[in-house]
Amino acid sequence: MDFALQALKDRFEINGQLLNGYFICYLVLQMLLIHVPLLIALVAGDVLSGEANMGTLRMLMTKPVSRTTIVLTKFVASVIYTILLLAWMAFLSLLVSMLIFGTDDLLIFKSDKAVLLREADVLWRFVAAFVYAAIAMTTVTSLALLLSVFADNAIGPIVGTMSIIILFTIITGMELPFFDFLKPVLFTRHMLGWKGFFNDPVNYASVIRSGGILIVHIIVFAGGAILIFRKKDILS
């Protein structure tokens, strides 16, 4: 925080409670990109490959339930886990930190500017950001599920999911013109769309577009998982 404030403190005297519940929650959301996907991949990457590893997948296939239903059920269970995880995060990072650190205006730092949002104008942005985060994290869930179809043990899909996220995040962050053509379709870029709610005014068109791109990813990943699983030879 001191590093971010240094450039401002040279010129401005900053008064007020900078480290408040809202700021803590914003920092926690910032970690959404790396830490939460790991917790999601651990579960969603294991839903099919874990069963294959234990040898229970074949037994499951003997039941009079279509493969599509099995994958969809696994997907819905993973999405429920994802939403519960985010709700728990919201409770801890927003409500608990509001109780411990209190509330005040929110000062956030971007690469080229600092934005101050008044206290009364902040809470709804967090609610919207968490709803958006649920879509972003469901994308991770569906990716982990897709990779889970290919593997016979859980390590592969978990490592694979995290590797893809880390690689895409690095490409998103790099300011190399070479990758410019790729950036608009990388889902990691659109996972940051929750930050759009902390712009003033909010560019809804851009946030909705990013949300739409994530939903397309979810459909493609989950649909791909169903298609591949339906044609897969279950040998383990």
Among positions 210, 218, 222, 225, the unique one binding another protein when judged by CB under 8 A: 210
The helix/strand/coil state of 174 is coil
Beta carbon nearer to another protein, 67 or 183? 183
Q: For the purposes of burial, counting CB atoms within 10 Å of the CB of 184, is it exposed (0-12), middle (13-18) or buried (19 or more)?
A: exposed
By CB under 8 A, the residues from 129 to 148 that bind another protein are none
Beta carbon nearer to another protein, 121 or 228? 121
Binding segment toward another protein, per CB under 8 A, in 49-57, 66-74, 81-89, 181-189? 181-189
112 binds another protein (CB under 8 A): yes
By CB under 8 A, the residues from 48 to 87 that bind another protein are none
Q: How far is CA 85 from the centre of its chain?
A: 11
Beta carbon nearer to another protein, 67 or 209? 209
199 binds another protein (CB under 8 A): yes
| Residue 148 CB contacts under 8 Å (≥ 6 apart), including other chains | 44, 45, 46, 47, 48, 49, 50, 154, 157, 225
Among positions 39, 67, 105, 166, the unique one binding another protein when judged by CB under 8 A: 105
Query: Smallest gap, in angstroms, from Cβ of residue 86 to another protein?
Result: 18
118 binds another protein (CB under 8 A): yes
Pairing label, strands 106-109, 114-117: antiparallel
Phi, psi dihedral angles at 117 (to 5 degrees) = -115, 135
Residue entry with tokens 């101050």: 116
Beta carbon nearer to another protein, 8 or 100? 8
Q: What is the DSSP letter of 108?
A: E
Among positions 56, 69, 163, 203, the unique one binding another protein when judged by CB under 8 A: 203
Q: How many CB atoms lie within 10 A of CB 144?
A: 32
Contact (Cβ atoms closer than 8 angstroms) between residue 236 and residue 55: yes
Q: Which residues bind another protein (CB under 8 A)?
A: 3-4, 7-8, 10-18, 30, 33, 104-105, 107, 109-119, 173, 175, 183-184, 189, 192-196, 199-200, 203, 205-206, 209-210
